[in-house]
């Protein structure tokens, strides 16, 4: 199916809302497992676990897991060891590596923790990884997400769903479901400080060198700088976990406050690096990719082209393109049944007005197309929906905008949908992702010499970041360093 690597939270929002509704929304006080202090909570532990379990299924379906049982087991064992010695050892803890190139880690209520392959490719030892896992465990043990949900409910705000591309693109039931995500619950500085301390404490309990936690924050900062301080490549930890530079300084100060013999000694650099040998680096083109405004899916062998200048995204649920003015959205998802059955299901939705629905063909493929209009929370939405039969399945192509602006996008949507066709270019079909490859140095050399002798398909600036070294640094003999090989190449 079309794969886009963006963490969406729509089902999490619905699950949370349902659990809260089932609980009657009664205000209660609970004891924080870590602090021992009383706090207002609308969510019991059983409800918290239920929310996490439902969202866990959604996250795995939407993002997908890295298909490496040994790596999954390695991360899971590390996380469960930390969690077993936390303040909430009896939660149904799960730890997963999700197939996402963004540098990120996050936790769901109830003990469901995720790290991305993007994060694994950027950290350099087990102590660093453990500090990240410990930080996310801390959010769960302190019940930070539950506290945020409770505060929002008390304030009458609820759990909001917003458009990825623009708040002006209205939501309407399942029409825009592929393009929506739960607004990420932002933690305050107190919560982040608590989770930093928790990660520090859990790492220290297992004998890890807690000074390595600072390296994670420094790497997050450098990734953000490399990506220009904005855009889709900025690590989520950078946007939702503020001020990494000062937190790196605090981590060092915290470690220095301990006597040298009590800071922990485990780092396990080489062991960790061997675990990520061959890990996919960056976007995986086999799951679909944009190039020059055209989306190619090698596995399903189709392609289509979006207008020049439109913002694009590829998620596990939909391929998306938004207008430069952020007032129109195109999306492609998989439909159910034949084009006729999928169209009938879509156009018969309650509250939706259909017009000019009829059979057509798109580049030899049978299709059903028609206009629709619906009243949404943000006004009247108008759109064009086309259901194309291809490769034994049905693809749903939607283009929609506020009613007063739809006419200016009608021809654009038709052109985009009309570009859907079979992919026959073997160079596009056979494309492979870039991979992390380790090089164990037999002699010391500069970073620049390393890059010349062991070239990568990413720039030297990226190689410096993923190896946690600065430009001009001397690389040590006897140590392994990462380079990136294969793939389509990148520009940043």
Lowest mean pLDDT among 36-45, 113-122, 141-150: 36-45
* pLDDT greater at residue 78 or residue 100: 78
The DSSP output letter for 265 is -
Residue 32, classed as helix, strand or coil, is coil
At 287, list the tokens.
Answer: 């799951």
Residue 63's nearest CA partner among 110, 137, 15, 116 is 116
Lowest mean pLDDT among 81-90, 220-229, 296-305, 343-352: 220-229
For residue 31, the model assigns a pLDDT of: 62
Number of residues that this document lists for the chain: 492
Lowest mean pLDDT among 13-27, 226-240, 277-291, 340-354: 13-27
Question: CA 20 to CA 25: how far, in whole Å?
Answer: 6
Does residue 72 contact residue 117 with C-beta atoms inside 8 Å? no
Its CATH architecture, for the domain 285-429, is 3-Layer(aba) Sandwich (3.40)
For 436-448, the pLDDT digits (tens) are 999 999 999 999 9
Does residue 364 contact residue 419 with C-beta atoms inside 8 Å? no
How far is C-alpha 270 from the geometric centre of its chain's CA atoms?
Answer: 27
For 180-232, the pLDDT digits (tens) are 222 234 556 777 788 888 999 999 999 999 999 999 989 988 988 887 643 33
Residue 357, classed as helix, strand or coil, is strand
Is residue 393 over pLDDT 80? yes
Is residue 131 over pLDDT 60? yes
Is residue 122 over pLDDT 70? yes
Is residue 75 over pLDDT 80? yes
Mean pLDDT score, 167-184: 30
Is residue 473 over pLDDT 90? yes
* pLDDT greater at residue 364 or residue 166: 364
Q: In whole numbers, what is the pLDDT of the chain averaged over residues?
A: 81
Lowest mean pLDDT among 60-74, 257-271, 397-411: 257-271
The CA-to-CA distance between both ends of the chain, in Å, stands at 28
For residue 304, the model assigns a pLDDT of: 98
For residue 372, the model assigns a pLDDT of: 95
* pLDDT greater at residue 8 or residue 301: 301
For residue 60, the model assigns a pLDDT of: 85
For residue 147, the model assigns a pLDDT of: 63
How far is C-alpha 418 from the geometric centre of its chain's CA atoms?
Answer: 30
Does residue 98 contact residue 84 with C-beta atoms inside 8 Å? no
* pLDDT greater at residue 158 or residue 431: 431
Mean pLDDT score, 373-388: 89
Is residue 398 over pLDDT 50? yes
Is residue 339 over pLDDT 60? yes
Q: Give the model's confidence band at 155: pLDDT under 50 very low, under 70 low, under 90 confident, else very high.
A: very low
Lowest mean pLDDT among 36-40, 160-164, 225-229, 253-257: 160-164
User: What percentage of the chain carries pLDDT values higher than 90?
Assistant: 56
User: What percentage of the chain carries pLDDT values higher than 70?
Assistant: 78
* pLDDT greater at residue 390 or residue 379: 390
Lowest mean pLDDT among 204-218, 257-271, 298-312: 257-271
Classify residue 386 by burial, with Cβ atoms within 10 Å: 0-12, 13-18, 19+: buried
Q: Which DSSP string corresponds to 37-56?
A: -EEEES--HHHHHHHHHHHH
For residue 38, the model assigns a pLDDT of: 56
* pLDDT greater at residue 336 or residue 37: 336
């Amino acid at each position: 199916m079309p794969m886009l690597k963006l963490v969406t939270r729509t089902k999490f929002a619905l699950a949370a809302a349902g659990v809260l509704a089932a609980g009657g929304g009664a205000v209660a006080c609970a004891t924080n497992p870590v602090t021992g202090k009383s706090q207002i909570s609308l969510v019991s532990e059983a409800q918290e676990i239920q929310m996490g379990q439902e969202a866990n299924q959604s996250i795995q379906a939407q993002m997908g897991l890295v298909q490496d049982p040994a790596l999954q087991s390695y991360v899971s064992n590390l996380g469960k060891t930390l969690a077993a010695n936390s303040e909430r050892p009896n939660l149904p803890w799960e730890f997963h590596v999700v197939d996402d190139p963004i540098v990120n880690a996050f936790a769901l209520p109830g003990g469901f923790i995720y790290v991305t392959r993007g994060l694994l490719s950027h950290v350099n030892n087990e102590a660093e990884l453990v500090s990240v896992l410990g930080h996310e465990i801390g959010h769960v043990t302190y019940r930070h997400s539950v506290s945020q949900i409770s505060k929002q409910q008390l304030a009458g705000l609820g759990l909001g769903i917003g458009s990825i591309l623009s708040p002006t693109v209205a939501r309407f039931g399942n029409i825009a479901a592929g393009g929506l995500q739960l607004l990420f619950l932002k933690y305050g500085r107190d919560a982040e400080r608590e989770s930093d301390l928790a990660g520090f404490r859990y790492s220290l309990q297992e004998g890890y060198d807690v000074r390595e936690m600072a390296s994670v924050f420094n790497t997050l900062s450098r990734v953000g700088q490399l990506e220009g301080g904005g855009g889709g490549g900025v690590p989520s930890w950078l946007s939702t976990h503020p001020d990494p530079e000062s937190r790196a300084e605090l981590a060092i100060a915290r470690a220095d406050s301990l006597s040298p013999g009590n800071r922990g000694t485990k780092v396990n650099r080489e062991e960790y690096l061997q675990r990520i040998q061959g890990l996919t680096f960056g976007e995986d083109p086999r799951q679909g990719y944009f190039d020059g405004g055209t989306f190619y899916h090698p596995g399903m062998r189709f392609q289509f082209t979006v207008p020049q200048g439109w913002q694009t995204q590829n998620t596990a649920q939909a391929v998306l393109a938004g207008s430069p003015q952020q007032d129109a959205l195109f999306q492609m998802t998989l439909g159910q049944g034949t084009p006729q059955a999928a169209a009938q299901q879509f156009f018969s939705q309650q509250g939706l007005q259909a017009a000019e629905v009829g059979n057509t063909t798109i580049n030899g493929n049978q299709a059903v197309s028609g206009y629709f209009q619906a009243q949404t929370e943000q006004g009247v939405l108008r759109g064009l929906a086309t259901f194309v039969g291809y490769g034994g399945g049905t693809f749903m192509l939607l283009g929609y905008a506020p009613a007063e602006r739809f006419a200016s996008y009608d021809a654009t949507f038709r052109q985009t949908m009309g570009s859907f066709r079979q992919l026959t270019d073997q160079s596009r079909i056979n494309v492979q992702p870039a991979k992390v490859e380790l090089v164990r140095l037999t002699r010391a050399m500069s970073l620049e010499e390393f890059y010349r002798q062991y070239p990568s398909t990413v720039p030297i600036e990226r190689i410096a970041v993923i190896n946690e070294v600065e430009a001009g640094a001397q690389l040590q003999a006897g140590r392994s360093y990462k380079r990136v090989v294969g793939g389509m190449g990148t520009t940043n």
